[in-house]
Amino acid sequence: MRFVHGVKADITADIVYMMCPMHLLKLDEMIKGLDAGQVLEILTDYDGALEDIPQWCKRTGNEFIGLDEDEDYYKFYVRKTDKQQKGES
């Protein structure tokens, strides 16, 4: 797992306390609204995201920048690549 600190995100989705599969649905929904190069931050306390979000990035061609840990939740960072156009999933 890649740990990062101080990543500047363009937009944040706070889904702490939301269970599977909200982390993937929110990721998909939010990334559609971004331009290539922009960074999405997802706040979640769902442990399954540790595996699912990097996998989702690999599958869709978006860049998994890494994750940071807060006191009781994770902060995932995903950069939209030009492989995925705005509005396309």
Find the shortest distance in angstroms from Cβ 13 to another protein. 11
- Residue 37 — φ and ψ, nearest 5°? 100, -20
The vertex-71 CA angle with 70 and 74, nearest 5°, equals 40
- Contact segment (CB under 8 A) with another protein among 8-16, 32-40, 53-61, 75-83 equals 8-16
Mark 30-69 with x for binding to another protein (rule: CB under 8 A) and - for no binding. Answer: ----------------------------------------
CA-to-CA distance for 89 and 86, rounded, in angstroms?
A: 8
Q: Respond yes or no: is residue 20 known to be catalytic.
A: yes
